Chain A
Amino acid sequence: MYKAIITVRLRPSILDPEGKAIEQALQSLDFSALSGLRVGKYIEMNVEATERDVAEQMVDAACGKLLANPVMEDYSYELHEA
């Protein structure tokens, strides 16, 4: 059994107005040293598998098929033994 920690991000070429708005809010709160803010998604799930590479393949397939849209998003993940 593994736990997968997945991060889905907007691709760098895509404007992130939400991130921009949050960054501006931070700056208005005097966090002027914080910049380049972008918003993504955090997903965690359990993976029923005994072999690490099998778990990895499953998570990768799930990301490619549903969890991320390759037109606008990139994803990365970590697997932890649970």
Chain B
Amino acid sequence: MEKMKFGVVVFPGSNCDHDAYHAVKHVLGEQAEFLWHKEGHLGDVDVVILPGGFSYGDYLRCGAISRFSPIMKEVIRHASEGRHVIGICNGFQILTEAGLLPGALLRNHSLRFVCRSVRLRVENNETAFTSQFMAGQVLTVPVAHGEGNFYTDTETLGELEARNQVVFRYVDVDGEPTDQANPNGSLGNIAGIVNRHGNVLGMMPHPERVVEQLLGGDDGLGVFTSLRDAITGTVPTTS
């Protein structure tokens, strides 16, 4: 069967691009290629990954300048065709700046850069990014950011909740979205959302960093196996 292809966009200052590439190419075993941000086309990729990092040094606002990189026009077109885009950490910030996802990521409430594993509850397992998880499943996935405090106006927040666009929420050991479990002050403990059509995901935690036991866990792998299932209809046979 023909393999699907992931395109990992590389901006100046991206630093999780190789982690994402490793996850989809070597662990998932699909095709992957790096896409320099100056490129004017995406080639034949099925899924675009906007990786974590500090694109353009986070100057002005996180993602504000990279959002205007030449490749972003193509990423926006790809998304508008209903094809899949995932933005992780800085990638999530870029997606909000680009208007592909609502809201914004503000400075962490603590003012500190937070780098640790957090618990995430799968709020919606009926998306292309989460179908391999169980609803309510609690995952352990690392975060590493200084600006991950998800904010949006009350009306948009209500729409996100009503339309089940909140995909991941920060929770405690009992699976409850408490203030203590919230690493950055995000409204509603929101860690990840999809757009209205469900083909664009943004999340602050790093699923690509937990895709094999060597890395301390594989709770993040489901995001990528879900995408494979959505694209190729292949249910993974690995345990």
Q: Which residues of A contact B (CB under 8 A)?
A: 13-15, 17-18, 21, 66-67, 69, 71-72
Q: Is the CB of B60 within 8 A of A67?
A: yes
Q: Which residues of A contact B197 (CB under 8 A)?
A: none
A54 to B104 CA separation, bound complex (whole angstroms): 31
Query: Nearest chain-B residue to A70 (Cβ)?
Result: B104
Please report the C-alpha to C-alpha distance between residue A18 and residue B149 in the assembled complex, in whole angstroms. Answer: 13
How far does the alpha carbon of A69 sit from the alpha carbon of B197 in the complex, in Å? 23
Q: Which 6 pairs show the lowest CB-CB distances between chains A and B?
A: A71-B104, A72-B104, A17-B111, A17-B109, A69-B61, A69-B104
Instruction: Please measure, in the bound complex, the distance between the C-alpha atom of A71 and the C-alpha atom of B157, giving whole angstroms.
Output: 12
Task: State the majority secondary structure of interface residues on B.
Answer: loop
Contact present for A69 and B97 (CB under 8 Å):
yes
B108 closest partner in A (C-beta): A17
Cβ contacts B10-50/A at 8 Å (1 or 0 each) = 00000000000000000000000000000000000000000
- On chain B, the residues within 8 Å of A15 by CB distance are 109, 185
Using Cβ atoms and an 8 Å threshold, which residues of chain B touch A13? 153
Of residues 87 to 106 in B, which have CB atoms within 8 Å of A's CB atoms?
96-97, 102-104, 106
Choose one: B61, B97, B151; the contact of A14 (CB below 8 Å): B151
B135-166: which residues lie under 8 A (CB-CB) from chain A?
151-153
Pick from B106, B108, B111 the residue with the most CB of A within 10 Å.
B106
Nearest-neighbour CB distance to chain B for A34, whole angstroms, equals 19
Given known A-B contacts A71-B104, A71-B152, A72-B106, A66 and B111 have beta carbons under 8 A apart: no
If A15-B109, A17-B110 are given as contacts, then 19 extra A-B residue pairs at C-beta distance below 8 Å, sorted by A number, are A13-B153, A14-B106, A17-B107, A17-B108, A17-B185, A18-B111, A66-B64, A66-B65, A66-B68, A67-B60, A69-B61, A69-B64, A69-B97, A71-B96, A71-B102, A71-B104, A71-B153, A72-B104, A72-B106
A13 to B111, CA, bound (A): 18
* Bound CA–CA A21/B110 (angstroms): 10
